Amino acid sequence: MDDVAAPGRDSAPRSGYRARSHAPLGGTLENLRASAITVDDDGLIVAVNNAAQSLLGRDASELVGQDFHDLLHRDRYGHPVPRTRCQIREALLTGDTRHGDAEWFARGDGTLVQLSWLMMPYSPERGGTGGLALLYEAKQPNDRHSDGGHSAPLTEMDRLALLAETTTQLTSTLDVDEALRRLAALTVPRLADWAVFDLLTERDEVRRVLVTEHKDGILVERGDLQGPMPPVPAESPMPLSRALRGAASSLAGPATYQGPPDSGIAVEQQRLFSATGMHSAVIAPIRGLRDVLGALTLGRAQRHDAFTSADLPLLEDLTRRAGLALDNARLYQRQRKVAETMQRHLLPQLPVLPGLEMTARYQPAPDASSVGGDWYDAFALGAHAHALAIGDVVGHDLDAAAGMAQVRNMLRAFAWSHPEAPPSAVVTRLDDAVMHIAEVSMATMIFARLTLGKDALWRLRWTNAGHPPPLLITHDGRTSYLDGAHGILLGTGVTRPRPDAVTILPPRVTLVLYTDGLVESPHHSIDHGLDRLRRHAASLAHRPLDSFCDLLLDQVRPSDNDDDVAVIALRTPPPAGPA
C-alpha cells in the first residue's frame, strides 16, 4: 500500500520545531518575492516566508514542523499524492534540482490551489541538509495565447525553472538525438512555435537534424525540412552563418533573407521561413568546450509578438547547457565507436569441429564504454585437439580490453608452442608472463583441451584460475557444475601448483563457459546466480544451440549488473547409430 497521509491532516508541529517564518535564515527567504519554504532532509518544514503563508492561506505556526508532502501535496481530487509518485520528495531525497508544472496543493481553508514548483538543494540550518521549495501560480495552457496570439513574458521564476529543468533533462541522457528532442520539448511552445537544430559534423559539414513545430497541442517533427545543408560561408553576415561560426546570438525574420542570397545556407533559410511562416526568430550558437557544435533557431509563427533582444540572454543560457550536453554525448559516442571497432577485431572466429556445434556471445556493459575485459577463444592445437578458453580481466573499459588482448594472444602462443602440455602447465606459464609482461592487474580464466577419443566421445581436460565453473546440461535437462581443477586467479604473484581435471562429454550434452557478469548481482549472492543459471539452462536444453544462448542471456543476465558478459557454448553430437 502506498505510504500517504490522511486527507486534510493538520497535526501539531513535530517536537523540536517552533513556529517561525525566517529567523534562522537572516531574512534570506523574505528577500525572495516568490513563495519559499525550506525543509530538512526528512521533508519537515523548517521555515517559510510571508509570500508562502499568503499563497497557502496558512500561518507559519501551521506549517513549521509539518511534513511538506503530507500536509500540502494533493492530486486534482484533493487526495494525498502517494509518496512513491511524488517528484518533489524524490528531488529532496536525491539532492537534485527539479521543476514541475500545474500540481495541486492544499490551502488552510481546505481549498486547492494549482501551483508550479521548483525544488533545489539547500542547507536550512548550519550543518544541516535539506531543500528549498519555490511555489508560484501555474499558467493555464490557454494563457499562452490569450491575448491575440501574444505570449506572456516569462517571469524570473519561470526562467529559473526552465534553466533548472533544462539542466536536469539534458544531463540525464548521452544520446544526441534524445537531448535535442528534450530541448525542443522544453522550448516549444513555452518560448516559440518552432525549434530548429543545425549541427556541425566532425568534418565541418552542416546537417539540419531536427525541425519541430507545435501543432494541435503536440510537437510534430518536420522531416521534409531536415537533411544536409550547404557549407558555412567564411564571411557571410547572415545570422545562421554567423552563429555556426560561433558569433553571438541575434534576431532574424523573413526580411533578413529577402534579398539576393549570399550563400547556399541563405537559400535554405529563405525556404525555412517560407515553409514555416515564422515572422520572428532568435538564432544562437551551440558551443562545446572547444568547438562550435551547431546552432539553435527558435521561431514564432502563430504568436503575434516578436522576439526582442531581451530574449537573447535566456536563449544563450539554454544553448550553453545544450553545448555541454552535446559535448558529453559526442564524446561518449566516439568512445563507443572506438570500443565497438576494437571489439570486432578482438573477438575471434570460432573453428569448425566435425560433428560438434559451437557458438559464442558477447554483451558489453550497459553503462560503460561498450567493451571490456571479458573474452572467449577457441582454436586448433593440432589435428586432433582444440583449445577452449574464457576469461575476465579486471575492469570494463578500453584498458581492460587492451589487457584482455594481451592475455589472449599470450595464451595462444603458449598453448600452440606446447600443444601436448596439460592446461595447468600452459596457464602457469601464462600467469608468470602476466606478472612480468602484460599490463594486467588480475584476471580469471578457464583453459581447456578438447579431444575426440577412439570411442567417438569428446573429452574435456581443463584448469580453472579463479573463474565461475563450467555448466554441463544433458539433453533431458539434468545439470552439473564442473567444480574440479579450481586454482587461484592470475596476477596474484602467489606460486601454487595448478590442478587439472578431465571429464567425458556424453552425446547431446551442452557445455557452457561464461563470465561472472551472467550470474553476479549486487543484490544477490553468487550462489543465487549460479542456481538461476542452472535452472534456466535446464529448461532450454532442447533448444537449438544459437537459440539456447540467446534465451539464456536474455533470461539469466541480471538487470542490475553493469558488467560485460561473454559466453561460449558447445554441444556434442547424438550417438552414432548401429553399423
Among 339, 351, 315, 311, residue whose Cα is nearest residue 402: 339
Is the domain of 367 the same as that of 430? yes
Alpha helices in 229-357 (DSSP H): 239-244, 264-276, 312-346
Q: What angle do CA 265, 269, 272 make, to 5 degrees?
A: 140
User: Do 429 and 490 sit in the same domain of this protein?
Assistant: yes
321 found inside a domain: yes
In a domain, 144, yes or no: no
- For residue 100, the number of C-alpha atoms closer than 13 Å in the C-beta half-sphere is 20
Q: Which helix (H) or strand (E) holds 389?
A: strand 385-393
| SS3 at position 4 | coil
Are the C-beta atoms of residues 425 and 369 closer than 8 Å to each other? no
Measured CA distances, 30 to 23, 132, 435 (Å): 10, 13, 65
Q: Considering the domain boundaries, does residue 86 fall inside one?
A: yes
Show the CA angle centred on residue 169, arms to residues 167 and 170, nearest 5°.
70
Question: Domain ends where: 304, 334, 364?
Answer: 334
**C-alpha dihedral sign at 161, 163, 168, 172:** positive
CA distance readout (Å), 292 to 39, 202, 359: 41, 11, 46
How big is the CA angle at 329 (ends 325 and 330), to the nearest 5 degrees?
A: 120
Cell numbers describing residue 428: 602457469
Q: Which domain holds residue 485?
A: 347-571
Residues 174 and 73 in one domain: no
> Which of 454, 471, 448 is CA-nearest to residue 552?
471
pTM: 0.52
In a domain, 488, yes or no: yes
Q: Where are the beta strands (DSSP E) in 218-291?
A: 218-221, 227-229, 250-252, 280-287
Same structural domain, 38 and 125: yes
Domain-embedded: residue 445:
yes
Per-residue pLDDT tens, the chain, 579 aa: give them.
Answer: 344 333 344 444 444 444 443 444 445 566 666 788 999 888 899 999 988 898 899 999 999 999 999 999 988 777 888 887 888 888 888 887 888 877 889 988 888 888 888 888 876 555 567 888 888 875 544 444 444 455 556 777 778 888 888 888 888 788 888 889 999 988 998 899 999 999 998 788 999 999 999 887 788 899 999 999 999 998 899 999 999 999 989 999 988 888 888 999 999 999 999 999 999 999 999 998 888 999 999 999 988 889 999 899 999 999 999 988 888 888 877 776 766 666 666 667 888 888 899 999 988 766 544 556 788 999 999 878 999 999 998 765 666 767 788 888 899 999 999 989 999 999 999 999 888 776 677 889 999 999 998 888 999 999 999 999 999 999 999 999 999 999 999 988 888 899 999 999 999 999 999 999 899 888 888 999 999 999 999 999 999 999 999 999 999 988 777 778 899 999 999 987 654
Assess contact for 539 and 472: CB atoms under 8 A: no
Count of domains forming the chain: 3
* Amino acid letter, residue 60: A
- Assess whether 326 and 358 both reside in one domain: no
User: CATH code at 58?
Assistant: 3.30.450.20
Query: What size, in residues, is the chain?
Result: 579
| Same structural domain, 317 and 222 | yes
Distance of CA 206 to the CA centre of its chain: 27
- Does residue 67 sit in helix, strand or coil? strand
Q: Nearest-CA neighbor of 566 among 383, 442, 352, 400?
A: 400
Kindly report the backbone phi and psi dihedral angles of residue 509, in degrees, each rounded to the nearest multiple of 5, phi listed first. Answer: -95, 150
Of the candidates 334, 362, 383, which is a domain's last residue? 334
Residue 147, domain member (yes or no): no
Supply φ then ψ for residue 324, to 5 degrees.
-65, -40
Spatial CA neighbour of 266 closest among 245, 294, 243, 238: 238
One domain, residues 171 and 206:
yes
* 17, part of any domain: no
| Residues 328 and 352 grouped into a single domain | no
Residue 252 and residue 107 share a domain: no
Tell me which of 267, 302, 334 is where a domain ends. 334
Clarify whether residues 181 and 284 are in a common domain.
yes
